[in-house]
Amino acid sequence: LVSRKRQPEDTLVHVKDVTIGNGRPQLIAGPCAVESFEQVNAVAEKLALSGVKVMRGGAYKPRTSPYDFQGLGFEGLKLLKTAADRHDLRVITEIMTPGAVESALPYVDIIQVGARNMQNFDLLKEVGKTDKPVLLKRGLSATIEEFIYAAEYIMASGNSQVILCERGIRTYERATRNTLDITAVPILKQETHLPVMVDVTHSTGRRDLLLPAAKAALAIGADGVMVEVHPNPAIALSDAQQQLDFDQFDQFVEGLTVQFPRL
């Protein structure tokens, strides 16, 4: 179902009035995690002023250590939705278990399936039964073929509104948090008809590489970029190393707009 051979024309993903995959790159931005109403509201205000239409923020956080901040859960979904509504933004957030999908639906516009859950087949089937667009992240060690099959699970369950997101893969290289597989973008676009985005934050794990990675992503044909923004990254409860503060976010958007004016 995801194959370009079966459907030659690009799939457009519609998120209310926002379209992903129509040739105009979209920026998805927001904090790593929802921490408080004040925090998400400050980010939402900033994003709206910057022209961003889709806000991210994790309420359910898949953390490597069980002792790290696990997210505010359902309460976080409500805070994110309230802040986003105030500033007329669409919401994308990660859902980790099939059982949490239904209760989340009123609060989300795009469901994110995280890298660690790319092959959580029950979750893929469950989000496939909803009428919400799904942003599917590539697994930490997933081949492109496995990634495409994961998208197929969602489509096979009835949901064709799928966005693929390259977010770096695990290699021997330690200079970056993961290795951004930039050629995955044109390969995925050749093999499938789905929109492809690049998460520059989790692929690089380095603030200084966010802009160059985003430029590379758009230059190679990505339909958009995801990046993390926090009012005060130094005190962020997760990913403090690579989130942008508001001034840095301005520079990021400016730097990208110079070369990609349609952003």
Q: What residue 167 binds from Mn ion, ligand PEP, none (CB within 5 to 8 A, per partner kind)? A: ligand PEP
Q: Report which residue's Cβ sits closest to Mn ion.
A: 32
| Distance (Å, whole) CA 16 – CA 199 | 22
Judged by the rule CB under 6 A, the positions of this chain that interact with ligand PEP are 32, 58, 62, 94, 114-116, 137, 167, 199, 202
| Distance (Å, whole) CA 145 – CA 127 | 20
Nearer to Mn ion, 32 or 169 (CB): 32
Query: Minimal distance in Å, beta carbon 140 to Mn ion?
Result: 14
Q: What residue 53 binds from Mn ion, ligand PEP, none (CB within 5 to 8 A, per partner kind)? A: none
Structure tokens at 94: 């990660």
Q: Report which residue's Cβ sits closest to ligand PEP.
A: 114
Nearer to ligand PEP, 117 or 130 (CB): 117
Q: In which residue are the tokens 């997101």 written?
A: 165
C-alpha dihedral, 122 to 126 to 128 to 129, nearest 10°: 140
Q: In which residue are the tokens 């676009």 written?
A: 189
Nearer to ligand PEP, 22 or 205 (CB): 205
Nearer to ligand PEP, 30 or 231 (CB): 30
Query: Minimal distance in Å, beta carbon 110 to Mn ion?
Result: 16
Contacts of 90 (CB under 8 A, 6+ apart): 15, 16, 18, 53, 54, 55, 84, 109, 110
Q: Is 59 left (phi over 0), alpha (psi -120 to 50) or beta?
A: alpha
| Distance (Å, whole) CA 29 – CA 188 | 22
Query: Minimal distance in Å, beta carbon 85 to ligand PEP?
Result: 21
Q: What residue 115 binds from ligand PEP, Mn ion, none (CB within 5 to 8 A, per partner kind)? A: ligand PEP
Q: What percent helix, strand, coil does the chain show, rounded to 5? A: 40, 20, 40
Nearer to ligand PEP, 13 or 29 (CB): 29
Nearer to Mn ion, 109 or 239 (CB): 239
- Cβ count near 40 (within 10 Å): 29
Query: Minimal distance in Å, beta carbon 261 to ligand PEP?
Result: 27
Q: What residue 62 binds from ligand PEP, Mn ion, none (CB within 5 to 8 A, per partner kind)? A: ligand PEP
Query: Minimal distance in Å, beta carbon 69 to ligand PEP?
Result: 12
- Angstrom distances, CA of residue 102 to CA of 99, 111, 130, 174, 253: 7, 11, 8, 38, 34
Query: Minimal distance in Å, beta carbon 44 to ligand PEP?
Result: 17
Nearer to Mn ion, 4 or 207 (CB): 207
Judged by the rule CB under 5 A, the positions of this chain that interact with Mn ion are 32, 239
Structure tokens at 33: 């995690």
Cite the DSSP H helix spans in 60-162: 74-86, 101-104, 121-128, 144-156
